[in-house]
Amino acid sequence: MKLHHVIEAQQFDLATLSRLFEVTQRMEQVVAQGGVGDFQNRVMAALFYEPSTRTRFSFEAAMQRLGGRVISTENASEFSSVAKGETLEDTIRIMNGYADVIVLRHHEMGAARRAAAVSRVPIINAGDGPGQHPTQALLDLYTIRKEIGAIDGLKIAMVGDLAQGRTVRSLAYLLSRYQGVKMYFVAPPLLRMKDDILNHLRERGVEFVEEPTMEAVLPEADVVYQTRIQRERFGDRLADYEKCRGIYVLTQESLRRMRSGAIIMHPLPRLDEISMEVDADPRAAYFRQAQNGLYVRMALLTLLLDGTTHPRQY
C-alpha cells in the first residue's frame, strides 16, 4: 500500500483512497493551524512542459505548506529536451539528482509512465496530454465524500462534454469502485460518454442512464457535476454549439429544482455554464472543490515522501 508514483486514477483501490482521504482530512487541520515543517529542506521539482498555472500553484502551495521547497519551470520545453534533443528519460534522471519528488506536466500521453520507469524519486502526473490527470479525479472524489458524507449510494449527474473531459471520465471510473452509485450522463449526442467507460460500468454492474436534458435529472442528483462545453469540438457547426451551451446553463431556476442537500461541482474554469448568481448559494461547491485540491496534494506528497531519505544517490 506504499505509494511510489501517482500515474493514473485507476491505480487507486478503495483501501488506498480511504487512507488518502484520512490524510487529506488531517491536512485540512494542519493548514488551519498554520502548516507544518515536516518536509523542511525536501525539494519538489515542478517540471511543466506546458503552462498550467493553477495546477502548478496548487502543487507548489501544497509542498510549501508542508514546510518543503520548490524548484519550478513552466517552459520545460526550452529545457535541453526539446531544444537540444535530450530524451525525457535523461531529463528525469538528472532531476533525480536535485529533487525528492517530481511533478510532471507533459503534452504527450504516457509521459508520466515513461518518467516513472526510470525515476528513483516519486513522479506525480499533473496531466499528460489527452491521457490522465489523476489528482483532479482524487480531489473530486474527496469533495463528494466531504460534502455529501459518503460515496456509497451516491446519485451523480455529469453534464456537458462527457466525451473528451478527462475529469468526468476518470471520476466515473473511480466511482465504479463504490457501492450503489447511480450516474446520469447529460450530454448532447456528439459529446456523450464514450463506450469504453459505459462498458466498464456495465461490467461492474453500475447503474447509469443517459439523458439529453438536465431538467428531469436535477431533482434526483446529490451531485450535479457541470463541465465546460468546448467550442472547438463543434467545428463550423456553430449553431449546434450555441444550442448545447444554451441547454446546460445552471441558474437560480436550476437551484430551485435541486435537492437542498445537493451540491454543484465544476473542474473550472467556468464560462457561462454556471451563472454568477449561483455562486452565493451554499450548494455551489466548485471553489471549495478547488481548495480541496490543495489538501489532497498535500496528502499525496505526504504519502510519497514519508519515510524516504533524499535525494536518492546514484
Q: Which residues bind a copy of itself (CB under 8 A)?
A: 31-32, 34-37, 40-43, 45, 51, 53-54, 56-58, 60-61, 64-65, 67, 69-71, 73-76, 78-81, 84-86, 90, 93-99, 228, 268-271, 287-288, 290-291, 293-294, 309-311, 313-314
Q: Has 105 been annotated as catalytic?
A: yes
Q: Has 120 been annotated as catalytic?
A: no
Measured from the CB atom, is 92 or 183 closer to a copy of itself? 92
Q: Has 2 been annotated as catalytic?
A: no
Cβ of residue 43: shortest distance to a copy of itself, in angstroms? 5
CA torsion sign for 126, 128, 129, 134 is negative
Which residue is catalytic, options 56, 106, 133, 155?
133
Cβ of residue 87: shortest distance to a copy of itself, in angstroms? 9
Cβ of residue 207: shortest distance to a copy of itself, in angstroms? 32
Which residue is catalytic, options 2, 53, 84, 256?
84
Measured from the CB atom, is 81 or 167 closer to a copy of itself? 81
Cβ of residue 126: shortest distance to a copy of itself, in angstroms? 14
Cα distances from 120 to residues 8, 89, 92, 223, in angstroms, run 18, 12, 9, 39
Measured from the CB atom, is 181 or 294 closer to a copy of itself? 294
Q: Has 312 been annotated as catalytic?
A: no
For residues 99 and 95, give the distance between their C-alpha atoms in angstroms, rounded to a whole number. Answer: 6
Measured from the CB atom, is 15 or 83 closer to a copy of itself? 83
Measured from the CB atom, is 118 or 247 closer to a copy of itself? 118
Which residue is catalytic, options 5, 105, 146, 155?
105
Q: Has 54 been annotated as catalytic?
A: yes
Which residue is catalytic, options 24, 42, 55, 266?
55
Q: For the residues of the chain, what is the DSSP string, one character each?
A: -----B--GGG--HHHHHHHHHHHHHHHHHHHTT---TTTT-EEEEEESS--HHHHHHHHHHHHHTT-EEEEES-GGGSHHHHH---HHHHHHHHHTT-SEEEEEESSTTHHHHHHHH-SS-EEEEEETTS--HHHHHHHHHHHHHHHS-STT-EEEEES-TTT-HHHHHHHHHHTTSSS-EEEEE--GGGPPPHHHHHHHHHHT-EEEEES-STTTTTT-SEEEE-PPPGGGGTT-HHHHHHHHHHT-B-HHHHHHS-TT-EEE--S---SSB-GGGTTSTTB-HHHHHHHHHHHHHHHHHHHHTT--SSPP-
Measured from the CB atom, is 41 or 179 closer to a copy of itself? 41
Cβ of residue 54: shortest distance to a copy of itself, in angstroms? 6
Cβ of residue 268: shortest distance to a copy of itself, in angstroms? 6
Catalytic residue positions?
Answer: 54-55, 84, 105, 133
